[in-house]
């Protein structure tokens, strides 16, 4: 086990974790809400350091990151545990488990970097469960990866305290933030957390000039009203600007959520239209078989990157991060 980075020692060997807004007060022998941070004799430890439960070389488009080294592979790792408990979680076997309940590999940060290079990946993605709960492992790996010329991506829910997020900004080259809805009620009842810290994290990323993309899973009857999507897009434009990509994703019943239908295509299209009308430059619809997900130039409307629904880049016309037609700079992390 590795000593945790952000916590305070209290009386009687109790500790308070400061990594995420839950600020768990943890007595000796107990764990935080995420199940992977344990107080042992007054010292808080990460129980998942060097113990990934999932490892894959994924297309970067699968994260989804569309403006980050398109067509490359991201060596992706995740562990047990999460600080959110979404009823619709797609990775619940990992995220809602304690480390002893699922199998894991022994993999030091150096080994992760070595394997990423061996698998011809251009980056390492900290993903699957929320990397906030394996923060120390992700940061140590990112530091080594950077020295070897690899980029790093933090695929997170944004439910993280400001100080660790600013530290992550110093070591990560990109973030992916899951903005699960735009109503605090939805966050409380369905994700068992709350919205304000997620919005604060997005503002911090923008202020720190970090690169990030956002995803919004549209769940029929829960977070997909035109009013909610309109308010969310207006908030993004006002607080973050128009240049960060927003992905709308299709919901499929999963885990504890079986009372909602698959998101209709019409809802996805309507939401994308609302986002474009609000002024967002890069709007995508994902998790839909057979549909291309292309990047168009916000300046002249030309096709820049053509992708299949299977995460393949079919064509990339960008020239040094610019549109070859009108010269418009396209925001993102390019080669």
Residues within the interface to ligand SF4 (CB under 6 A): 17, 19-20, 22-24, 32-34, 37, 83, 133
Q: How far apart are CA 2 and CA 36, in angstroms?
A: 11
In the complex with ligand SF4, which residue's Cβ is closer, 129 or 223?
A: 129
Smallest distance, ligand SF4 to C-beta of residue 19, A: 4
Q: How far apart are CA 79 and CA 94, in angstroms?
A: 7
Smallest distance, ligand SF4 to C-beta of residue 15, A: 9
In the complex with ligand SF4, which residue's Cβ is closer, 59 or 164?
A: 164
- Which residue in the block uniquely carries the two structure tokens 């079919």? 314
In the complex with ligand SF4, which residue's Cβ is closer, 84 or 330?
A: 84
Smallest distance, ligand SF4 to C-beta of residue 126, A: 14
Smallest distance, ligand SF4 to C-beta of residue 277, A: 37
In the complex with ligand SF4, which residue's Cβ is closer, 23 or 316?
A: 23
Cis, bond preceding 318 (omega within 30 deg of 0)? no
Smallest distance, ligand SF4 to C-beta of residue 98, A: 12
Q: Is the dihedral of CA 265, 271, 274, 278 positive or negative?
A: negative
Smallest distance, ligand SF4 to C-beta of residue 151, A: 25
Smallest distance, ligand SF4 to C-beta of residue 36, A: 7
Q: How far apart are CA 179 and CA 196, in angstroms?
A: 11
In the complex with ligand SF4, which residue's Cβ is closer, 164 or 245?
A: 164
Number of H helices, E strands in the chain: 8, 17
In the complex with ligand SF4, which residue's Cβ is closer, 33 or 213?
A: 33
Q: Which long-range contacts link 310-314 to residues 24+ away (Cβ below 8 Å)? A: 311/58, 311/59, 311/61, 311/62, 311/64, 312/59, 312/61, 312/71, 313/61, 313/70, 313/71
Question: HSE on the CB side for 149, CA within 13 Å?
Answer: 5
Smallest distance, ligand SF4 to C-beta of residue 300, A: 45
In the complex with ligand SF4, which residue's Cβ is closer, 33 or 61?
A: 33
In the complex with ligand SF4, which residue's Cβ is closer, 112 or 133?
A: 133
CA separation (Å) from 300 to 26, 142, 303? 55, 37, 9
Q: Give the alpha-carbon dihedral of 254, 260, 264, 270, to 10 degrees.
A: -110
105 CB neighbour count, 10 Å cutoff: 14
- Which residue in the block uniquely carries the two structure tokens 């002249």? 300
| Closest C-alpha to 69, from 81, 54, 59 | 59
Comparing every residue's Cβ against ligand SF4, the nearest one is 32
Cβ–Cβ under 8 Å, residues 220 and 260: yes
């Amino acid at each position: 086990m590795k000593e945790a980075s952000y916590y305070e020692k209290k009386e009687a060997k109790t500790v308070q974790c400061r990594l995420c807004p839950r600020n768990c007060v943890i007595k000796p022998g107990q764990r935080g809400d995420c199940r992977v941070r344990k107080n042992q004799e007054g010292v808080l430890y990460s129980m998942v350091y060097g113990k990934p439960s999932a490892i894959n070389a994924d297309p970067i488009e699968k994260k989804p990151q569309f403006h980050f080294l398109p067509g490359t592979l991201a060596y992706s790792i995740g562990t047990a545990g999460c600080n959110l408990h979404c009823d619709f979680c797609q990775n619940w076997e990992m995220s809602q488990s304690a480390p002893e309940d699922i199998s894991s590999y022994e993999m030091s940060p150096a080994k992760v970097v070595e394997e990423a290079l061996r698998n011809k990946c251009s980056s390492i993605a900290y993903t699957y469960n929320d990397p906030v709960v394996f923060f120390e492992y992700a940061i140590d790996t990112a530091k080594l990866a950077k020295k070897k010329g690899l980029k790093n991506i933090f695929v997170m829910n944004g439910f993280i305290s400001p100080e660790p997020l600013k530290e992550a900004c110093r070591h990560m080259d990109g973030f992916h933030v899951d903005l699960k809805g735009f109503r605090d009620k939805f966050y409380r009842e369905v994700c068992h957390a709350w919205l304000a810290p997620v919005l604060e994290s997005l503002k911090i990323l923008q202020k720190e000039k970090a690169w990030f993309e956002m995803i919004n899973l549209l769940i029929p009857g829960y977070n997909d009203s035109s009013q909610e999507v309109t308010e969310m897009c207006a908030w993004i434009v006002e607080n973050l600007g128009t240049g960060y990509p927003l992905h709308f994703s299709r919901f499929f019943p999963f885990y504890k959520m079986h009372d909602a239908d698959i998101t209709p295509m019409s809802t996805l299209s309507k939401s994308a239209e609302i986002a474009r009308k609000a002024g967002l430059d890069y709007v995508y619809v994902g998790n839909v078989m057979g549909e291309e997900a292309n990047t168009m130039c916000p300046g002249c409307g030309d096709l820049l990157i053509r992708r299949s629904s299977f995460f393949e880049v079919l064509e990339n016309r960008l020239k040094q991060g610019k549109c070859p037609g009108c010269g418009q700079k396209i925001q993102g992390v390019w080669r």
